[in-house]
Structure 1
Amino acid sequence: MQRRTFLLASSAILLLPFPALAASGKHAVLYKNPQCSCCEGYADYMRQNGFEVDVKPTNDLAEISRKAGVPEGFEGCHTMFIDGYVIDGHVPVDVVEKLLAEKPAIAGITLPGMPMGSPGMAGTKTENFIIYAVTKDGKAPTIYAAA
C-alpha cells in the first residue's frame, strides 16, 4: 500500500502545471509603458534567469518610479519590484542578484535611461553601466555597482 501511495503522489507532482513549480522562484512585477517593446525584452531576460515576471502596462510610470523613491533624472525605462526593492531600468541580473543577496537598507537600484546593449536593449554595449542605489530617505543616489 505504501508503494502505491508513493507512486500516486509522485505522479501528481509531475502533473502539476509549470507555473506552480515556478512560483517557488523569485517573483517580480514590472510596470512599463504600454507602447514599449524593450521592456518586454527585459522581462524575457529576467525569466530566462529564473524570475517569474508579471508585466503590467501603465501610463503612470513616472509616478510609480517617484513613489518608489527613484529621483527624477535617475529613472529607467520601466519599474520593477522584487522582494520589497525597486529595480528601475535595464539592470543586469547579476546586479539584481547581488541586491537580493546583500539586502541593503535602501529602496532599490536604478540604471537610468535606456543604455544600448543593456539587457533587453538592442545594440552593442560601449561603456560600463553605472547602477545607482536609491535611498529610502530621499538622499541623492550613490553608485551601487558597475556592470
Structure 2
Amino acid sequence: MDQLEIREGARRQHRGLAMFCVLYCWHHNKKAVFVRKELLLHYLGLERMKGTRYEWITEDVAAYFPYIFKRTTNNKELIVFSKIPENELLENKNEAIRFSPKILGLSSYSLISLDEHGEKAYKLIDDSMPFLAEIKNLHEFAITNALSLLSSGIISPNKALESDA
C-alpha cells in the first residue's frame, strides 16, 4: 500500500469519527467532545500516534471542529475536538462531553474488550452475525454503520448517539 492510499484511508477514518462526534455533540447539546487516547488509538487501529497522524487528524476534522488539543486528566490522555477555543472551554467545562457512545448496543469500552477477550466474544458475533467476523476494527465498523443508518433514516439519533456514561 502506498503513502497516498494510507493517507486517504486515514482521512476517511478521521472524517467519519468527526461526523459521528458532531452528531454526538449536537445530540447532547455540547460544543466539544473529549476522546480518550486509548479509545482513539483503538478506533484508528494504531498502537501509538506519531506527530504526523495528529497533524492529519487536525487537518481532516477542521471543518467539523476548528479547535483540537490534547489534555491530560486523571492520568488519562485525551484528544479534545471543540467548536470553541481551549481557553473558553476551560472556563465553561460543562460545554464538553466524554465520548462514550453505545454502538451496536455496546459501550465503547465493551467493543475494546471484545477484541481483548477474543474467543467467547467472536463466537457470539460469529453465531449471530457471521459477516462481522471478517471485520478487524469493530469501532470503525460500528461508527460508519451507525452514520449510514442515521443518514438513511433507518434509526433515530436517540439510540444511536446515546451515551453509556
Larger relative helix fraction: 2
Larger relative strand fraction: 1
Is this a same-fold pair by TM over 0.5?
no
**Which TM class, normalised by the smaller chain length?**
0.3 to 0.5
TM-score by length of 1: 0.33
Larger relative contact order (Cα-Cα within 8 Å, sequence gap ≥ 6) = 2
- Decide which structure has the larger Cα Rg and report it: 1
